[in-house]
Amino acid sequence: MSRSIRLIAALAVVASLAVASIALAKPAQSAKINGGSTTVTISSAAATVLNNNNLTVKPLAPATASGSTFTFPIGRGRMNAKMRGFVITKGGFAFSNGTRTVRLRKLTVISNKNGVSIWALAPTHSKKHLIIYRVARIARVTGVTISNKTATGTVKLTALSAGVINNLAGKKVTAAGTSIGTATLSPTFG
């Protein structure tokens, strides 16, 4: 496959993320989101599993980390009063075992009648200077509560994200459905 075809394929993936998030989650009478943040706090149990297997998680700018809490600035989105809609964050995070690193970018939270999921651009493979990404669901958020336009819930791994962690650890250390902590969505409407 030529370099231009791969570039077009990568751009198509990025465009499909934006179109999918709007098509799947555009709520009736939604309000535009133009800021705020999404935080993910890793539980002590999840941090222990990562540490015991020499795995690190680091933010990708402009996301930041303070202790076990990762903060992702919100770039844009739309939500209604029931917090149904979508939010696209800036930055991302990287899992590493010291030798290999997997970077997940453009985290997108989609909330609809089927629940809340976190999606990301995940690399599928690379060749020379070109990395091919795909849109992948990396987590589910359960037990969501809403208070004062802020939503909080429990983050659970999908099979894909559990597989990435297990692959980097070189053995099975987690599974789909494992709770890794909590997420809080605090959008700024405008």
Helical segments of the chain, H only: 3-25, 44-52, 159-169
For the chain, state the CA radius of gyration.
17
Whole-angstrom distance, CA of residue 124 vs CA of residue 106: 15
Residue 177 is predicted with a pLDDT of 98
On whether the CB atoms of residues 105 and 121 are closer than 8 A, the answer is: yes
Q: Give the count of beta carbons closer than 10 Å to the beta carbon of residue 114.
A: 8
**pLDDT value of position 162:** 96
C-alpha torsion sign, points 187, 136, 94, 130 = negative
Any idea where the domains of the chain sit in the sequence? 3-189
pLDDT tens for each residue of the chain, 190 residues long: 443 333 333 434 444 444 444 444 444 588 999 999 999 999 999 999 999 999 999 999 999 999 999 999 999 999 998 889 999 999 999 999 999 999 999 999 999 999 999 999 987 776 777 778 889 999 999 999 999 989 999 999 999 999 999 999 999 999 999 999 999 999 999 8
**How much is the pTM?**
0.83
The answer to whether the beta carbons of residues 6 and 130 sit under 8 Å apart is: yes
